[in-house]
Amino acid sequence: MSDVLLGGPARKPVSCLLPLIVEPRRRDARPPPCRSCDGAAWWNGWRVTHPVVAASTDAVERHELVLPRAKCSCCRLGFTCYPPGVYPRRQYQLDVIADAVAAVAIGGELVAVAAATRAASSTSVRRWSAWVTALVDAQALHALAAQVDPSSASVATASPRSSTAAVLAAFEVLGAGLVRSGVAVVERSGLGRVLGWQHRAHGDVFGLAGPRFSPAMAFGGRPHGR
Ligand SMILES: [Zn+2]
């Protein structure tokens, strides 16, 4: 499988077997206020990204997505505006990761097969599995789900076959609870819904090497409808 480097040398290679779907540039008339100081911001250029998104549970697409950049007129903070469903600092998007990890941890698929289906490497799938497993304790997610939506407490899940499967299942319960409590989501997987909501509502981003998901952060506010 041959690869092509996109967006400069820092980018990971993505299979060129995936056709590139170029999305039109979009931005509102004005940027949102600064997340740090709430000051007015102005548009300040664009950033080219190449997210790999889930077309279905077992197929991916590679997009060329140009994101608008803004700059705060008060504190001079520069920031990128992400549309719903696009997670920062990540080429393979959250639903793709959730699908790949679930295929292995719940579906019993071989890592190499789960990787090839998504034009990813086996190393990436193993890294994603380790990341999901270490991200948060499954019980903490269930506790949060019961807070966000009390009816979540009665959701019965089959006994998971591994800690990875347990965390994934707990993300599904919390993701469904968020939807029932009125949070608008575009993500399909529980992992995508929960982390996407955390990003949109609280500005939290969880990188592969970044901080662990903290339930305390999630309690920072009732979920907002965006
Ligand atoms: Zn500012």
50 assigned to some structural domain: yes
Rounded distance between C-alpha atoms, residue 81 and residue 22, angstroms: 18
Query: Which pTM does this prediction carry?
Result: 0.84
Angle at CA of residue 204, ends 96 and 77, nearest 5°: 115
Q: Which domain holds residue 35?
A: 1-81
- For the four alpha carbons of 199, 205, 206 and 207, in that order, the dihedral sign comes to positive
Rounded to the nearest angstrom, the distance between the alpha carbon of 94 and the centre of ligand 1 is 28
118 assigned to some structural domain: no
71 assigned to some structural domain: yes
32 assigned to some structural domain: yes
Per-residue pLDDT tens digits of the chain, which is 226 residues long: 334 444 444 445 555 678 899 999 999 999 999 989 999 999 999 999 999 999 988 889 999 999 999 999 999 999 999 999 999 989 999 999 999 999 999 999 999 999 999 999 999 999 999 999 999 999 999 999 999 998 887 666 667 789 999 999 999 999 999 999 999 999 999 999 999 998 988 888 887 655 556 554 444 444 443 3
Rounded to the nearest angstrom, the distance between the alpha carbon of 79 and the centre of ligand 1 is 10
Number of domains within the chain: 1
205 assigned to some structural domain: no
Rounded to the nearest angstrom, the distance between the alpha carbon of 139 and the centre of ligand 1 is 37
